[in-house]
Structure 1
Amino acid sequence: MGCFGFLKTVMFIFNGIIFLAGAGILAVGIWVKVDNGSILNFLQNLDGAPSELKQVLNVGYLLIALGSVLMLLGFLGCCGAVRENRCMLLLFFVIILIVFIAEVAGAIVLLVFKGLVQKVITEVGVKVVEGIRKDYGSNKDITGLWNTTMETLKCCGFNNYTDFRNSSFSKNGTYPSQCCKMSACNEGSATAANIPGCFPALIALVEANSVVLIAVALGIAALELTAMAVSMTLYCQIKAKST
């Protein structure tokens, strides 16, 4: 097997795995959306499962989108390599390139415009706090989403427990049980003051796992560069054969 045949085989196997993974993710996403009644009943029947667990059904749209993109990439890569179709290989290269450029641009924006990003996050935080005070305790979906977030990250509110002041839930200075570790507590509770907000908790979690996240990001970037290099090499060799 020559270099050309080896690259075709690698391209086929690699994108075949991507296609199958995308098909699996797409199937799960469709199942979650189509048969959400059965899934919801299953989740509710789990021993000790919180009622907010049903929020997982909203992930179905994300799974459908991700699965569709992966299937498209896998199809273009496989067929482009096997059928030696330059158009498919070029389209595969362009899609990967767009994703790669978007990732690099996002990283540059975060590094260069760190102050602007922090300002935007602060402005978003104000809106989030307004949403908490308006909907938490009165809107079942919003309440469930925040309860799940706070239980997962062991946090309280967006910034801290004071985000619940004047909310539909907070009456006489009472705060959610997630802010108190045991049960609903009052504003004067020392426990509530010691529990971090969800945004600071998320930042701390990212910083604690920064090495792993950087390694994963570099690994993904390396795979994308390799995929682009292989697809373009095949493209050029196929073009050379046809002339």
Structure 2
Amino acid sequence: MVSFCAKLFKTMKTNYVGDIHVYEVSNIAVMLQENIPCLKCLIIILNIPVIAIGAVAIGLGIWVLVEEPDVLELSSLRELTVMDQSYLLTSVYLVITAGAAILVFGIVGMVATNAQSACCLGFYAGMLSLILCVEVAGCTLGVVFKSSSDQHLDEAIYRNIKTEYDGSPESQNYFSKHINAVHATLSCCGYMNVTDFQQSLTWNRTLGDGSSAQVPLSCCLPQSNSSIQSTGGKMDCRKTPDVTNSYTDPCMPKVRELFRKYEIIVIACTATLAFCQLLMLVLVLISMCSIVQDETQYDFKQNMYT
């Protein structure tokens, strides 16, 4: 392949010398024709890891969606959305879609290359170009919003704790339900610290005995939750939270770390897919040129000698 590219470059370099322009173009056609088997084999071989990468991208995208869905849903808060869509969730969906498309069109590309069909290869190249544009847009979206996402995330969650959180463990409120799940999933309480919920304007903190809760029930350790229900004499962790009966670590560093991990996965997958597609696109276009040159070579020679 290296020697083929070197010969092609050398031929193209002398392409415009004097009156031999027509003959050099003919030489390019002949050389491309001679290397069609090599190109075909190379494209088919390279399609195999590309298809595998597409399958891996699908798996990683699905894993991101199902690993910590409640944490991921926090990116759908109104303040963090772009055109009413979560930029992080949208990027994950783009990775899954691009991976599936590469998986399908990679097989199509192998069949088209083996059949040496310029029409099928043209369709394959067009689809690769379209998917490549979508991936570049998704990767750009991730890079642009990654720099400001942490600050916006902090502000949005803290604001929603004040204005949306209702403190009920069985709440159907979007934010309350997911922040309760985040407490249990990440073993944390509050966002900045455990005192965040004392600023809530929508949570009735008055308990049955007239005292005030310091943290919601979702911040209590599992055994503390059960003891509240069964043994009234036990110390209620909602009134006196400490390391023995409740989560005390803030959620902010854990949520940030998780979001950063997802963003890196999305950007890395998109960049890898884009690179593989760009490489395949170049090889497919060269193969198309060789096939088209072969099909028109006879007419070209006739026109040249008339």
Superposed counterparts of 1:66-81, under 5 Å: 69-81=98-110
Quick one: which of 292, 297, 303 aligns to 1:242?
292
What secondary structure is seen at the aligned counterpart in 2 of 1:185? Answer: coil
Q: Residue 205 and residue 137 in structure 1: after superposition, are their counterparts in 2 closer, same or farther (change >3 A)?
A: closer
Residue of 137, 140, 162 corresponding to 2:195: 162
Q: Structure 1 stretch 226-235 or stretch 97-106: which is displaced more?
A: 97-106
Aligned AA (1:202):
V
Q: Which of 277, 298, 302 lines up with 1:227 in the alignment? A: 277
Distance in 2 between residues matched to 1:15 and 1:145, nearest whole Å: 36
Aligned match of 1:203: 256
The one-letter code sitting in structure 2 at the alignment partner of 1:86 is G
2:191 partner SS: coil
| Match runs of 1:1-243 below 5 Å | 2-12=38-48, 14-15=50-51, 18=54, 69-84=98-113, 85-111=121-147, 114=148, 117-130=149-162, 132-134=164-166, 136-137=168-169, 139-140=171-172, 142=174, 144-165=177-198, 166=200, 167-168=202-203, 170-171=205-206, 172-181=212-221, 182-183=223-224, 185-191=237-243, 195-204=248-257, 218=268, 221-243=271-293
Given that residues 138 and 270 in structure 2 are in contact (C-alpha distance below 8 angstroms), is that contact kept between their aligned partners in structure 1?
A: no
Count of aligned pairs between the two proteins? 208
SS at match of 1:189: coil
1:36 corresponds to = none
Q: For residues 4 and 202 of structure 1, what CA distance do their matches in structure 2 show?
A: 48
Between structure 1 and structure 2, the one with the greater Rg is 2
Give unpaired runs (5+ residues) of structure 2: 1-36, 74-88, 114-120, 207-211, 225-235, 294-306
Tell me, in whole angstroms, the C-alpha distance in 1 between the residues paired with 2:97 and 2:265: 26
Per the normalisation by structure 2, the TM-score is 0.50
Using the TM superposition, give the Cα deviation of residue 238 of structure 1 relative to its aligned residue in structure 2, in angstroms.
1.2
Higher RCO structure, 1 or 2 (CA under 8 Å, sep 6+): 2
Which stretch of structure 1 is more off in the superposition, 12-21 or 223-232? 12-21
The 1:123–1:222 alpha-carbon spacing in structure 2 relative to 1, beyond 3 Å, is same
Give the Å deviation of 1:155: 0.9
Q: Distance in 1 between matches of 2:249 and 2:256?
A: 11
CA–CA separation in structure 2 for the residues paired with 1:125 and 1:7: 49
1:19 and 1:75 in contact (8 A); partners too? no
Do the aligned partners of residues 131 and 99 (structure 1) sit closer, same or farther apart at CA in structure 2, a change above 3 Å counting? Answer: farther
Q: Of Structure 1 and Structure 2, which has the larger fraction of its residues in helix? A: 1
* 1:179 counterpart letter in structure 2: C
Contact 2:53 2:273 in 1 (8 A): no
- Partners of 1:54 and 1:217 lie apart in 2 by 19
Q: Secondary structure at the match of 2:166?
A: helix
Q: Give the conservation status (yes or no) of the 8 Å contact 1:16–1:75.
A: no
> 1:39: which partner in 2?
none
Indicate the SS of the match to 1:226.
helix
Any conservation in 2 of the 1:93–1:232 contact (CA below 8 Å)?
Answer: no
CA RMSD across the alignment: 4.6
TM-score by structure 1 length? 0.60
What are the superposed Cα offsets for residues 101-141 of structure 1, whole Å, 9 maximum, x if unpaired?
A: 43245324534xx4xx4553343124431465237445247
Which residue in the other structure is 1:43 paired with? none
Residues 94 and 65 from structure 1, CA distance in 2 versus in 1: closer, same or farther, beyond 3 angstroms? closer
Structure 1 equivalent of residue 10 of structure 2: none
- Once the two structures are superposed, what CA deviation does each residue of 1:80-110 show, in whole Å capped at 9, x if it has no partner? 3422421222222331343134324532453
